[in-house]
Amino acid sequence: MTHPFFLEESNRLKALPPYLFLEIDRAKRRAIEKGVKVIDFGIGDPDQPTPKYILDVMQRVVKDPKNHHYPLDRGSHAFRLAASVWLKKRFGSYFDPDTEILPLIGSKEGIAHLPLAFINPGDVVLVPDPCYPPYKSGTLFAGGHAHLMPLKEENAFLPDFEAVPAEVLKKSKIIFVNYPNNPTGAVATRPFYEKLVKWAHTHKILIASDLAYSEVFFTKEKPLSIFEVPGAREVAIEFHSLSKTCNMTGWRIGFAVGRAEAISSLLRVKSNLDSGVFTAIQMTAIEALKNSFGFSKKTNIMYRRRRDLLVAGLKELGFPIKPNQASFYLFTRLPAGSTDSTTYCKNLLEKTGIVATPGVGFGAPGEGYIRFTLTVPEAEIREAIIRMKKYYAVSSPKSLIGDHV
């Protein structure tokens, strides 16, 4: 017999939509239970293992009793120093490891906690739409209101922050930006960041730049940090992750960097809610950062081959797809005649065993789009295209489009 839970959930939990990736995982598990051999283009989790040189360090440092205690509030100085060196080498800017860098239990944690440091009930956070869900949920948990800025393909998926109404702007304290972007794969230009920094100074708004995908790119020009633009240090905080950069998603390690006062405020939130990153993981992450540039070069060659293979296959199937310049996400409109991304993805899983993410799951402007990750081996990409061709052809009535009309 099932007994009703004796407490009612809080209003903030009730206001949350179902977490997109949990819903996708449940649907995938149901298909697997039915015996379907699933090919998963859903969640952006690298399929390759964490490199051996990282594991070797972890095996050593995890045995050291000195690493078994609570981490200090600001974490390991050695890790913060390694992050400072990495930032200087990658972006050309020096950041003080003692005041301007803070270890995180993955960048997601820091992103979700940031609004708690600055947002009061009724305050506004400017959020791109579609977006990574914690921008919205972190704002909600802090009692704030997320004002959504549509990302449109015709605007290169860049937000028009200057279009924010004056009455909203008066209440706004934070703006989230994320380039290379999840889910669209778009990159930001230097003029965009220059304009954003000047605007943030004018309106006294903190820029929260999510740079989790900075090291996944396919062009000679590397993705920018906002701190490569003059004036950004006074108005910005940036979030970095070793998840995609070093294939360490499950390790939960990243860091925030930026204006010292913003770092200090985020630290005050974290010191009341968590006890920091396991010291052995921080020590291991030092080795990961030291080797990250060579590692990324190799993985980007792999991701590019996968991208080109998947783009070619999807084009044959009628998707109006364009190759992404960065990140391991392909974000494309559905083929002509289909607009319902949730139903399309549901049918795709049921009929072909392929998991992809409906664009609307990232926000209303994502409707009509679908996201594929490149974290799938080439053999499975070929198999996925073969499966889709069996059930879907542009001129065939037995299409995934026609099945849900």
> Amino acid identity, residue 112?
A
What is the C-alpha separation between 267 and 117, in angstroms, rounded?
9
CA angle 73, 275, 126 (to 5 degrees): 85
CA-nearest of 217, 214, 296, 291 to 255 is: 214
pTM of this structure:
0.93
What is the C-alpha separation between 388 and 365, in angstroms, rounded?
26
CATH level 2 (architecture), domain 12-49+294-404: Alpha-Beta Complex (3.90)
What is the C-alpha separation between 241 and 112, in angstroms, rounded?
14
The neighbouring-strand residues paired with 128 are 149
Could you tell me how far CA 389 lies from the centroid of its own chain? 30
Per-domain residue ranges of the chain? 12-49+294-404, 52-291
Residue 268's CB: how many other CB atoms inside 10 A?
12
Max CA separation in the chain (angstroms): 66
pLDDT computed for residue 70 by the predictor? 93
pLDDT computed for residue 393 by the predictor? 58
Sign of the CA dihedral running 274, 174, 151, 321? negative
What is the C-alpha separation between 301 and 292, in angstroms, rounded?
14
pLDDT computed for residue 163 by the predictor? 97
CA dihedral 255, 259, 262, 267 (to 10 degrees): 40
Question: For 172-198, b where at least 16 C-beta lie within 10 A, e where not — what string?
Answer: bbbbbbbbbbbbbbbbbeeebbbebbe
pLDDT computed for residue 20 by the predictor? 67
pLDDT computed for residue 32 by the predictor? 85
pLDDT computed for residue 399 by the predictor? 47
For residue 397, say if its preceding peptide bond is cis, omega within 30 degrees of 0. Answer: no
pLDDT computed for residue 17 by the predictor? 77
pLDDT computed for residue 405 by the predictor? 29
Q: List pLDDT tens digits, range 284-331.
A: 999 999 999 999 999 999 999 999 999 999 999 999 999 999 999 999
Q: Cβ distance 91 to 229 under 8 Å?
A: no
- Quickly name the fold that domain 52-291 has: Aspartate Aminotransferase; domain 2 (3.40.640)
pLDDT computed for residue 26 by the predictor? 82
pLDDT computed for residue 396 by the predictor? 47
Distance in Å from the first CA to the final CA of the chain: 40
pLDDT computed for residue 16 by the predictor? 84
DSSP type of residue 34: T
What is the C-alpha separation between 54 and 73, in angstroms, rounded?
24
What is the C-alpha separation between 110 and 126, in angstroms, rounded?
17
Q: Which residues contact 360 (CB under 8 A, 6 or more apart)?
A: 130, 341, 342, 366, 367, 368, 369
**Sites in the chain below the pLDDT cut of 70:** 1-5, 19-21, 393-405
Phi and psi, residue 4, nearest 5°: -65, 145
